[in-house]
Structure 1
Amino acid sequence: MAMKVLQAFLYLCIFDQSSGQPIQVGTYVTQDDLDMASQAAAKAEQACAIASSMTIEDRATARAQLEDASANNILLEIMQAARNQNELQTLAAEKLPGAMIGAAAPLIMFFIILIIYALICCWTACPFCKCCRCCQRQRNIPFLVKLIALVLIGSFVLALVIVSSLSTRGYASAQEGFDVTNCAAATLVNSTFTGQSDPYFLGLIPVLSIFDELEGSLSSGSSFINDLRAILLDTSVITDSVAVATENVNLLASMLSDTRNTAPAGTLHECLACTPLATSLSQVSNALSSGTAAALSAARVEVDNQLSGSSLTTLRASLTGATAPLVELKTTIKSAFAPFVSDTLMEQISEQLNANGTIASVFMIGLALILSLCAMIAVLLWMCWEKSSSPDYADRKQYHKTVHRCACCTWCCSCYYTMLAFFLGGLLTILAVPLASMCLIMEDISSGLLTDISGVMEVDMSGEQGAMMGKMIDQCLKNASGNPRLLDLITVDDVNGNPTTMYDLLVVQTQDQITSQFDQIGATVNSGGGAGIAGSAEFVTLKSMLQTVALDSLMVPSTSYAWESDPDYQGIFLNSEIAPFIASSARCTSETIPMNLGLPKEGEPVSGINAFLSTMTSSYTLSSTSRSPTCAADFTCKALGVGANDLNATDRAACEAARKLMDLKYDMRSRNFKCYHFMRDGVVPCDVSSMSQLGNGAWTGDCKNADGTFTVASYDCDLAAFVQLVQDYGGYLDLVFTRLDGSTTAALNKIQVDLKALPDSNFLSKITTIGNGVTCGFMGDAYQNVVEGLCYGGVWGIKAVASSYTACAVLTLLLIILMYIQWRLALDNVNSNVKILDHTAVVPA
């Protein structure tokens, strides 16, 4: 029985108040499970009403007595030496007999006394065997000696009554121990199957029932999956809107960060507005990624990712895999503890101990009292009525036969009592050896000890499986204060083959990933992130920058270039009227940069190409050549009113440098820039200017491909087209963000409330319940109760009864010796007196 209990608890560790909902029969929960749980609950209530716990007054002493009874834990020694069951049997046959010699001493004494009684005592007591009674003569025993004998017998009688009454304590302890074991076993089954509140454990049946519900919820066509698909489809507009807005922001950012647009090679010009535009665009992008719309979309996408496609298949497989050890555990518990629950094994043992133990105890005590009374009577007769005057001879004393007959009757009956006590004490002592040894193993079980006896227990302690079992034994069975989550102690591989705990696999990687997205929604809304992006300060600034400032008005000669040291352009600084145009823009017209937009040259006028040409005309006679379609005309320099040859060197140098600067302007306006646009389905160029909402809530013209992705392509364009495209994006972004804000408002409640509630009630809350409810703290309490009841109650009680019987036998043996001496003395006096009186009589024993 002890071995079965230990194996059951080990299987508890291999697991490699209830939910409040009615438990129904399903894939993993059978009607037989429900019946056993009901029986366990009733049995626990009934058994624990009799005895739910026991008090061990001196545990150290009781432990020492168990160690003594176990022959120095001989079973552990054999189990540590054996590598399998066959070796266990072989070693047990070799070592147990020698180790149990001490335990068999009372039984050996039984046979010795039986032989002595049969061959010696009975022979010497036989009336026809007087010749065997050596040293026969009449002895006058002083009264003081008889008084001492009376005192010794009285001491023996008192000790005999005391030690024989100790058997009553042993039977009571054994009965209490088995009652406690019965209660602990029934409670264990009840707690394992239906759970308990302190320490909290959900229970196998509720857990398996939840797994049944989860598998049903996650199956294709279930109401949960159908409702989930409907909400995901209904809220897909938010994900589409976020994607459209994000792709447009990214497209504009890519166009503004392309060095072919920001600093065209060979033009010595740079885009002063591109960096501030990129910064403002980044702020809008951050607002988009951290806003409510993105949080809603992320939550929706995460739910879709976790509960659809291959992830759903993997999740179902993980749930199915997690149930395997639970089902195995349930089967093991039912097999190991069925006698405690379904049968009345423990009740029968307790009843037998209560009835037969009491009878045996009363019988032994009664016999001891009768023998004691007989011994006292024999000694008192010996003291007071050993002899009297003879009726035939007035001067002679006659010895009474009653004295030696009473003594003979006492020691003969005491021999039977001694043999019975030695026999019963020996049997119980031998029985206690393996039981006490197994009890010590159960109490001392640990990861190290289990490793030593793993071969015999048929438990694999190698590798990760053994390490897990060791942690479970140390933290579950031997942890008296904690209540660790069992799923934290089980290591499995995730989908990528990386080791992780079962808790992380079921809870963190699924539940937390989804709930964290919904938490982000709440945090975003609470922090003010719920405001629409189209009306945000960041976007209003960006739109103003895009729409009110032409990009080429801030495409000016590079401020980091050393114009004064370049021979081609240093001459322009010789003419104070045209020198300022070294900072002129590539735009034809002059522009004044608006204030409060964060752009360079705010509030300053920036000269354009036309102003540059006009100033040159006022200083020189230009022979211009139109370079259509650009305003940056080519020209030759002449002095005003005279021929070209009349220009002095300084004026000519200034004019030639200006002409070369104009060539740079021409290059800027005529070279190819890189414009970006979408290519719908990789064929049709597209922008969102024609995007509109249909009557059913769907959108058209948003440049998505048929598969929902976006394709971005670049194409060659001139400066004017590039500038116009950037300005157009002020309206494009306004359109996509207006759509995004509308989708956010429409989807907020559906996602934050409806979508969150659906997986939470059907899946996430159940996963969390399993993860936090499958604990193992209850194992330690239950295991300790079983050990205390079975070992410190039952086995200790058996050993106490055995010790009591053995002590009774030893004391009775001393009484036999004393009464035998009295018998011989009294008998010899009678026989000697007969010879003296010339009588020949056979004195019967």
Structure 2
Amino acid sequence: MLRLLSILAALWVSAGQTAEDDRVLDNAAATVDKYCALNADLEELDVDAAREDLEGGAGEDNFIVKLIEEAGIARQNGDTPAQIADRFGEIADPGFVASKAFAMVLAILLFVLWVLCCWFVCCPCLCRACCRCCQRKWATGKIFKGILWLLFIAFGVAAVIMVSTSMRGATMIDNGISGTACAAATLIEDAVAGSPTYQFTGLLPAYNTLAGLATILNPGSSFLNQLQTIIDQTQEIQKAVDLASGTIEALETMMNNPVNINPVSDPTNPSSSTMYHKCQVCEPLAEILGRINDVFASSTGEAMAQLRGKIEENLQGQAAEDLRVSITAAMEPIQAAKDAFVEQVGFFVEPGSGGFQASTEMVAGENSMLQPAVLAFFALYLLIAVSALIALALWSAKDQQGEKPDHCCVRFCTGCVSCSACIYAMIVLLICGIMVIVAMFGSGLCLVMIDFNQETGTNLMAAVGADVPAEVEMALKIADRCFSLTHPEFDPGFSRNLADIVDIPPMNQTKADAGETSTIREEIFSFALDPILQQIDNAEASLAGDGSAPSIASDANTLELLAMIGALDMSALYLPVESELAATSSPYKPMMDDVQGSTSPFKAYLVNSVSCSNVSLSEDLGDLGGQSVPGIEAMAVDGFTVQGSDVPALSYYMDAPMSGSCPSYTGGTCNNNLTMQFFKPGCDAAVAFLQDVKQQFQTEELFMCTYIVNGPTDPTPCYPRNMVQSGGAWTNTCLNGGTVYRRTRKCTLAEFNSFVKGAEQDIRKTFEYFDSITSSLLTAIITDMKDLVQTDIITPVVDLLDMLNCGFMRAFWEGLTTNMCYRGMNGFRLIANSYVISGLLSLCIALLIIIPWKISRDNADKLAREGGPVVQGSV
């Protein structure tokens, strides 16, 4: 059959995928080839240890997290942005910030001290002038020099360790950048090409499929035209349903009409005077018609008609437009996510200028300058350390123990090394101080990323003083479900399917008015798929075991019920209502009155129907079957028997028998065979009841008949029993333009009885017509229409909904945080800490190497001035 949607889907995907999307895809593939192979060779990361390192970098009380938490509390309390800012000022810990800025503060203090003290080293005259009082001759022993040598050797070893640590940090940054690029590239490929592992069809195909569905639901689309063709081909099934149900409804209308249940003098005015009779089978007959309707409703043909109608209802007209609008509304956040995705994530795989790779090529990859830069700082440190060792060796070799001045190169070398080490320490401590602060904020932000969820995002928006409109809240919800690492990767009770996450306005107006939202899956299933799927199941369940449609016309229950309708004689089933006759306002009350303890003999006429003759009810009428119902003739002249007792006719009580025939009897006066003359009023009332009421049932239009007519302008009755099938075609179907028209008018008892009894043949014939149409259209509806909708609408939509799992984004987020934070940020912090240590070691070198300079300087100055004895044991 038709596969239009499948063909269009391929066109939609190719049309929806822009040149920019293609370029990003190509870049992603190249990035995967370039970086992911390298990332696969990395040793497994100890996540717990890496997190501890991050927490150490962020501080025991994560400043960033604390700010976000406080913003969340302020948001819940309804605080203004100004109040939130004041709260931030209260919780800020200057001591904590100062501890992280220790290296930078130390560098500034060191610079001040160096500016003040460097002149004493650089200018001997200034040193002699200012330090004369504390200068003396020094003699150093081997132990003292040995200690200095051990310290300087330790500084050299520490330098090697720091170089190793910094290089490890640089490697971690390199690996982190490569891993980030790999994760981003994998994300793009998964998002676009799909991820079978995480059951994701692909963001662009998903968007384009929804766009395609919205397109085919546009009026005049090729798909709807194809669907309309099938619906037009199967219109006969609806006609058959309408004819059968219209015939049943015509009979139901008559049976349920109040003036037919309790006839009145003017049937067009239900409030007119009563006719003191009630239909004995109208209500039971309604139950019979209900049973026929049940058989009809469970038939294959009715199920086929319901399926056809449901497809027409849900996939055409206003319902299709509503569904298209809902799908379009659902596409908006996906469109925004797709555009932001291509724009933002594309940065990570962009190889050209301005892309992530070009921006990081100086610190990662083959052309990385990070390791040489790290080594350059330590090379300077090593140069200073080596210079210090040379200066120390020179001093050790040239030290004259204060007996005479040392060689001037001793003071020059030690002084230069001390100044250089101090300058290096200032520069490195300043740089690494900034790096430590950056690492603190970076580690804090990394922990926020790792622990991110919807609440964190909302608090973060509050922290920056931004509102959280509905679309932002929806984006945070998607981020929470798709990205957050706080939820288990595989949790049966936690859906990461976008069809269950994205909220859209409900099509149910009551829910919409209540401010409730719905999801894509709920809307599509509730208003489009479930009703159709249910009707498909009903249609298939109604089929016989061989796959054919069971006949409703030959169904045993149908035949039994129709036989009951055919056996009805409505004239025999209208009996007097005792309560109405006995009412105070009734002119016929005397015939119901018992006089002086004697029962009125005229009560026996309560069993007489409005039929002229007596009627024996058919056995087909169930509980009523087999009974003999006396009529008007029996009441007037013949008499009858009730439960073995003879009941005389009215003529028995008259001076002369009544003359005439049913329905018109005249003559006679009630004065005969009245054992008690006080029953005469009852006899007169009975005669009046016969002539004024009973006889009118046979002559007047006291009923409302409902029947099928030829058309809206042709009131001629049309009887479905006259339909004829010839060569597979049916004629005289009583359908005018595919519509059944009915008319209701006043009618006589004979007409009413004819319509009721004729309904049996009409219903039987419409069921035969219905069975014939059902069999001929079984393939068109059960097979063709079902296959078209099931294969081209339902299956693609269900498959799409099931393949919108965004768990692959969690894998990306995990890869991003692992590489950018656990590797990159921790590596950056290692380098910063190594620089801090190298700066402190350089400062120690500057302070220690000044000792030989001071000894040599004092000895030279002292000997130059005094030539006095050496002070032993001073050092």
What is the TM-score when the length of structure 1 is the normalising length? 0.82
- CA distance in 2 between partners of 1:123 and 1:20 (Å): 87
Please tell me the residue identity of whatever aligns with 2:657: S
- 1:636 equivalent in structure 2: 668
Give the superposition deviation at 1:465.
Answer: 3.8
Contact persistence 1:461–1:469 (CA under 8 A): no
Matches for 1:80-119 after TM superposition, within 5 Å: 106-107=103-104, 109-110=106-107, 113=110, 117=114
Identity of matched residues, %:
24
Picking from 112, 116, 120, the partner of 2:117 is: 120
Please tell me the residue identity of whatever aligns with 1:131: R
Please tell me the residue identity of whatever aligns with 2:371: T
- 2:267 equivalent in structure 1: none
- 1:414 equivalent in structure 2: 421
Residues 273-316 of structure 1 deviation map (CA, whole Å, 9 limit, x = unaligned): 33332211110012222332222111111211222233333433
1:273 has 2:250 as partner: no
Give the superposition deviation at 1:836.
Answer: 8.2
- CA distance in 1 between partners of 2:65 and 2:576 (Å): 98
Residues 83-142 of structure 1 deviation map (CA, whole Å, 9 limit, x = unaligned): 999x99xx99xx999997766654565565556556633652456666256433322223
Give the superposition deviation at 1:238.
Answer: 0.9
Contact persistence 2:58–2:441 (CA under 8 A): no
Contact persistence 1:271–1:555 (CA under 8 A): yes
Change (3 A) 1:795 1:526: farther
Change (3 A) 1:346 1:472: closer
- Worse-matched range after superposition: 300-309 or 412-421: 412-421
1:556 has 2:560 as partner: no
Change (3 A) 1:117 1:619: closer
Picking from 471, 477, 493, the partner of 1:471 is: 477
- CA distance in 1 between partners of 2:62 and 2:604 (Å): 111
Give the superposition deviation at 1:624.
Answer: 2.7
Change (3 A) 1:436 1:577: closer
1:756 has 2:755 as partner: no
- 1:360 equivalent in structure 2: 373
Residues 732-785 of structure 1 deviation map (CA, whole Å, 9 limit, x = unaligned): 111111111112222222212211121233333333344333344333332343
Give the superposition deviation at 1:820.
Answer: 0.8
- 2:269 equivalent in structure 1: none
Residues 581-607 of structure 1 deviation map (CA, whole Å, 9 limit, x = unaligned): 64233323333323354242x223333
Contact persistence 1:569–1:660 (CA under 8 A): no
Matches for 1:53-452 after TM superposition, within 5 Å: 54-68=45-59, 72-73=63-64, 106-107=103-104, 109-110=106-107, 113=110, 117=114, 120-121=117-118, 123-126=120-123, 131=128, 134=132, 135-265=134-264, 266-343=274-351, 345-348=355-358, 349=360, 352-353=363-364, 355-376=368-389, 386-387=399-400, 407-408=414-415, 410-429=417-436, 431-432=438-439, 435-436=442-443, 438-443=445-450, 445-452=452-459
- Worse-matched range after superposition: 341-350 or 448-457: 448-457
- CA distance in 1 between partners of 2:465 and 2:191 (Å): 23
- CA distance in 2 between partners of 1:609 and 1:69 (Å): 108
Please tell me the residue identity of whatever aligns with 2:505: V
1:30 has 2:30 as partner: no
Give the superposition deviation at 1:56.
Answer: 3.1
Residues 132-161 of structure 1 deviation map (CA, whole Å, 9 limit, x = unaligned): 564333222233333333343344444343
Change (3 A) 1:62 1:716: same
- Worse-matched range after superposition: 533-542 or 737-746: 533-542
- 1:592 equivalent in structure 2: 616
Picking from 549, 555, 559, the partner of 1:540 is: 559
- 1:51 equivalent in structure 2: 39
Picking from 684, 689, 692, the partner of 2:723 is: 692
1:768 has 2:831 as partner: no
Change (3 A) 1:20 1:216: closer
- Worse-matched range after superposition: 537-546 or 763-772: 763-772
Change (3 A) 1:724 1:574: farther
Give the superposition deviation at 1:193.
Answer: 2.6
1:603 has 2:626 as partner: yes
Gaps of 5+ in 2: 1-5, 265-273, 640-647, 869-875
SS in 2 for 1:568: helix
Give the superposition deviation at 1:823.
Answer: 2.5
Gaps of 5+ in 1: 1-17, 391-395, 639-643, 839-845
Give the superposition deviation at 1:240.
Answer: 1.2
Change (3 A) 1:752 1:332: same
1:484 has 2:515 as partner: no
Please tell me the residue identity of whatever aligns with 2:496: P
Contact persistence 1:592–1:603 (CA under 8 A): yes
SS in 2 for 1:58: helix
Contact persistence 1:74–1:96 (CA under 8 A): no
Please tell me the residue identity of whatever aligns with 1:333: F
Size of the aligned set, in residue pairs, is 801
Residues 559-590 of structure 1 deviation map (CA, whole Å, 9 limit, x = unaligned): 77788995315689999999866423332333
Contact persistence 1:217–1:762 (CA under 8 A): no
Contact persistence 2:119–2:126 (CA under 8 A): no
Q: CA RMSD in A?
A: 4.5
Matches for 1:777-792 after TM superposition, within 5 Å: 777-792=807-822
Matches for 1:438-837 after TM superposition, within 5 Å: 438-443=445-450, 445-454=452-461, 460-462=467-469, 464-478=470-484, 479-481=487-489, 482-488=494-500, 489-494=502-507, 496=509, 498=513, 499-503=516-520, 504-525=522-543, 530-558=549-577, 567-569=590-592, 582-595=606-619, 597-600=621-624, 602-612=625-635, 613-615=637-639, 622-626=656-660, 630-631=662-663, 633-636=665-668, 649=676, 653=680, 659=687, 662-663=690-691, 664-671=693-700, 672-679=702-709, 680-689=711-720, 692=723, 701-706=732-737, 708-829=738-859
- Worse-matched range after superposition: 276-285 or 489-498: 489-498
Please tell me the residue identity of whatever aligns with 1:299: L
Give the superposition deviation at 1:731.
Answer: 0.5
- CA distance in 1 between partners of 2:427 and 2:293 (Å): 97
Please tell me the residue identity of whatever aligns with 1:567: P
Residues 169-191 of structure 1 deviation map (CA, whole Å, 9 limit, x = unaligned): 22122222222221222222223
- Worse-matched range after superposition: 559-568 or 673-682: 559-568
SS in 1 for 2:746: strand
- CA distance in 2 between partners of 1:269 and 1:752 (Å): 50
Residues 611-666 of structure 1 deviation map (CA, whole Å, 9 limit, x = unaligned): 44223579577433326xx445234268xxxxx77875479859657645644432
Give the superposition deviation at 1:267.
Answer: 4.0
Contact persistence 2:593–2:600 (CA under 8 A): no
- CA distance in 2 between partners of 1:176 and 1:20 (Å): 44
- Worse-matched range after superposition: 399-408 or 129-138: 399-408
- CA distance in 1 between partners of 2:114 and 2:517 (Å): 74
Residues 426-464 of structure 1 deviation map (CA, whole Å, 9 limit, x = unaligned): 4534554664554455445444444455389796514x4
- 1:7 equivalent in structure 2: none
- CA distance in 2 between partners of 1:161 and 1:19 (Å): 67
Contact persistence 2:391–2:414 (CA under 8 A): yes
- CA distance in 2 between partners of 1:524 and 1:231 (Å): 21
SS in 1 for 2:20: helix
- CA distance in 2 between partners of 1:114 and 1:645 (Å): 148
Contact persistence 1:153–1:376 (CA under 8 A): yes
Residues 299-358 of structure 1 deviation map (CA, whole Å, 9 limit, x = unaligned): 111211222233333433433343333332222122212221122644452563464232
- CA distance in 2 between partners of 1:398 and 1:645 (Å): 176
Change (3 A) 1:588 1:693: closer
Contact persistence 1:262–1:271 (CA under 8 A): yes
- CA distance in 2 between partners of 1:454 and 1:542 (Å): 72
- Worse-matched range after superposition: 281-290 or 234-243: 281-290
SS in 1 for 2:716: strand
